[in-house]
Structure 1
Amino acid sequence: MTNSSRGSGKAGRGGKAAGGKGGKGKGGHNWSSKRPVGGKGIFVTTMRGKESRCVGEIYDLLDEVADRLYPPERVKALQDEREARLKERRQEGAPMDEDGEAEEGEASTATPQAQPPIDSDDDDDDDIEASIEKELAALKAGRGAKGLVKKDAADAKDKGKAKERPRFQSIQTDTECLCFIATAWPYDPVELTEAIVSEVQETGQARTRFVQRLTPTSFTCHSLSVEQVEMQSSRLIEQVFTTWAQAHNTTSVTYAIDTSVRSHTAPLSRTVLLPLLGTQISKLSSAPTISSPVPSRPILSVRADLKNPDLVLLATVLKNVYGLSIVEGRLWRGKNRVILSESLEWLANERDITIAS
């Protein structure tokens, strides 16, 4: 698709639904949302005043990449795996998040309070009164009882339908030049972003005019709670570093950290984030504890490397939201230092850079 056609996207059009319906060319659902920024997703920077055009471009790009990375058979396999994990967690009585992962903390053991008995006669009276009020309101509005019956029938028909959830949803950040695209399960923002950047490096074609930098987030939490930031970051760091080391059959891992702080001064400034994350990473050089998310992991040798890191931590703070993801270092290098969340156009123009092996 040409740049001009991608640039014509609208912010409210949205991506395809999680079930594969909707999206471009099919009526276009309004997947723009005013809910708070949070959860898994991708921060996208753009030029001032081009936010809506940027959202249209990134929707097209994400739909294309998601169709390729998540064919129906893979989605089905992920659903089966998730259901099995949820069933196992329920049997154990452990709290779970929306992806079927165990949440931090212990499950509540409090006994639910008994509910007071329901008086069916009182409910019937309330229903009759409510029905009369509805009918009177309809008559005053000029719709009559017939219109009211049609509306109630339509509401009853739609009541049993599950709400269609989009794969990707634009969330308003109230920040110039910055967009946030929430990703629904099972679409992994890190995998999607790495696929986009890798394609640009291989082909030298950015195929975008308004999408600049991409920063995925694997989780978010409140930026004012340093305890939550440490706990959630430590969990992700241990999981990703261990997985990468096992995949590459090594116990030595190098890393770099990049921070982006917007509209936030304390407590998570850059000078606080760097040592905070560095401390969590250094814990991997010690034996895992019983409460470790990967209790069977080996002791890892970790060190910082700003030129050729194996992994790069992308820490983002926007107002009262903190997010973190960990990506492949080879996709985020440039010139003489680590450059993270790289501009797609810059990557296309700098293809002659030596990429870390």
Structure 2
Amino acid sequence: MAENSLKRKPDNNNHERAQKKKRLEGGSRRFIDGPGVWITCVKGKERQTVGEIYDLFDSVASEIWPVEGEDEDGAAGSDGEELSLEAQIAKEVSEIKKPRSEQRFANCLTDTQCVVFMSCKPPVDPVELVMKYIQNIQETGVTRTRHTQRLVPVSDTCTATIPDIKALCLKLFEKFFSKEKDTKFKYKIELRIRNHTTLTRPIVIQHIASWVPEGHTVSLDNPDIFILVEIFKSICGVSIVRDYYKLSKFNVLEVANATRKQQSESVAE
């Protein structure tokens, strides 16, 4: 009777290690698929970056898009009652064996040093996800990562050809600009091309600018919004963001250093 009354304390560390191992070894894709986030990192630390990004994105996404039935300690049922030993074991096994399709993030192999791509599954919005994290760094000065350097969200991806880029841009532009029909934006196109030789910067920028709806103007010095375009090998990703320069082009270390500097200056005063 005494044994049956004992409650098993959940081994959260073992559970977290099992989840991380599963994601690193079995959660990768051989192709880049968006929506997602481009991550640059310290050379030689790509694997560690993938691990810390999984943990970071899971944490931030849980704040914005909480999963139904998700609990904080994993030891209680949906009604708040303490689970029995057998139920806790079954819950942990179920979490470890969760199908990959239920995961919100997947590492897409880039086969390139210093570059990681993490795809995001709906309802996760890569732009909102990155902005939430960067703004948190701006407030606290804490990065919560060791090897990650810069994050670039892309709302979707396509093959890096002019017709496909046009179709993607028109879709994203319609969604963004239709929300604020009476607002005329000043915009700037921020283009980065890596491991790609077919399309040139002037051609891509010229085409994208021609697809922006009428009434919105280019501003290189003081734009309201930024159209981020990332071309990597045969893939192109696009997103529209605000405060890109203000937030140090989403460089997590620079944002953290700026905040800590302001904090130290405030204390000195």
- Which range, TM-score by smaller chain? 0.7 to 0.9
1:234 alignment partner in structure 2: 170
Say if 1:219 and 1:325, in contact at 8 Å, map to a contact too.
Answer: yes
**In 1, are the aligned partners of 2:29 and 2:108 still within 8 Å (CA)?**
yes
Q: Unaligned 5+ residue runs, structure 1? A: 1-21, 76-160, 286-300
Change (3 A) 1:27 1:60: closer
1:71 aligns with 2:3: no
- Take 2:98 and 2:17, find their aligned partners in 1: how far apart are those partners? 23
**Who is 2:31 aligned against?**
36
SS in 1 for 2:178: helix
3-state SS of the aligned residue for 1:212? strand
Give the equivalent residue in structure 1 for 2:155: 218
Q: Indicate which of 251, 261, 268 corresponds to 1:343.
A: 251
Partner of 1:59: 54
Equivalent residue number for residue 109 of structure 2: 172
Matching residue of 2:84 = none
Matches within 5 A, 1:157-306: 163-165=99-101, 166-223=103-160, 225-243=161-179, 245=180, 250-267=182-199, 269-281=200-212, 284-285=213-214, 301-306=215-220
Matches within 5 A, 1:140-151: none
Task: Name the CA distance, whole Å, in 2 between partners of 1:305 and 1:23.
Answer: 50
Query: Hey, what's the Cα distance between the residues in 2 that align with 1:280 and 1:23?
Result: 48
Q: Does the residue aligned with 1:252 lie in a helix, a strand or coil?
A: coil
Percent of aligned pairs sharing the same letter:
32
TM-align CA RMSD = 2.6
Residue 23 of structure 1 and its aligned partner are, at CA, apart by 7.5
How far did 1:316 drift?
A: 0.6
How many residues align? The count is: 218
* CA distance in 2: counterparts of 1:177 and 1:56, whole angstroms: 14
Whole-angstrom CA distance in 2 between matches of 1:280 and 1:232 = 11
Give the SS at the match of 1:55.
helix
Cα 1:168/1:200, change in 2 over 3 Å: same
Deviation by residue 1:268-322 (Cα, 9 ceiling, x = unmatched): x2111211111111xx22xxxxxxxxxxxxxxx3112234322111101111111
2:69, 2:137 → 1: CA distance? 24
Aligned CA distance change for structure 1 residues 61 and 162 (closer, same or farther; 3 Å): closer
Contact kept, 8 Å, 1:259 with 1:315, in 2: the verdict is: yes
Distance change >3 Å, CA 271–CA 218, structure 1 → 2:
same
Pairing 1:49–2:35 present: no
Do the aligned partners of 2:248 and 2:255 also contact (CA within 8 Å) in 1?
no
In structure 2, C-alpha distance between the alignment counterparts of 1:175 and 1:66, rounded to whole Å: 26
The one-character-per-residue Cα deviations of 1:159-192 (angstroms, maximum 9, x if unpaired) are: xx99442111111101110001111121111111
Write the distance in 1 (CA, Å) between the matches of 2:44 and 2:15: 24
Name the TM-score, length of structure 1 as normaliser: 0.56
- The 1:24/1:241 distance shift into structure 2, 3 A limit, reads farther
Structure 1 residues 163 and 27: alpha-carbon distance in aligned structure 2, compared to 1, 3 A threshold: closer
The residue type equivalent to 2:129 in the other structure is L
Say if 1:266 and 1:306 are closer, same or farther in 2 by CA, change over 3 A: same
The structure-2 alpha-carbon separation of the partners of 1:229 and 1:343, relative to structure 1 and needing over 3 Å to count, comes to same
* Structure 2 SS opposite 1:239: helix
Residue in structure 2 matched with residue 333 of structure 1 by the alignment = 245
Equivalent residue for 1:321, pick from 232, 235, 244: 235
Q: CA offset at residue 37 of structure 1?
A: 0.8
Distance in structure 2 (CA, Å) of the matches to 1:195 and 1:48: 26
- Hey, what does 2:3 align to over in structure 1? none
C-alpha change, 1:27 and 1:333, in structure 2 (3 Å) is: closer
Contact 1:256 1:305 in 2 (8 A): yes
Q: Is the 8 A contact 2:34 2:155 kept in 1?
A: yes
Q: CA, structure 1 residues 278+74, in 2 after alignment: closer, same or farther (shift >3 Å)?
A: farther
Per-residue CA deviation, residues 225-279 of structure 1 (Å, 9 max, x unaligned), is 2111112112211221222x25xxx421111111111110112x21112111111
TM score, norm. by length of structure 2:
0.73
Counterpart CA distance in 2 for 1:52 and 1:182 is 16
Aligned mates of 1:201, 1:308 — CA distance in 2: 21
Quick check: 1:308–1:333 contact (8 Å CA) kept in 2?
no
Amino acid in structure 1 at the alignment position of 2:127? V
In 1, the alpha carbon distance for the partners of 2:177 and 2:105 equals 27
Q: Secondary structure at the match of 2:237?
A: strand
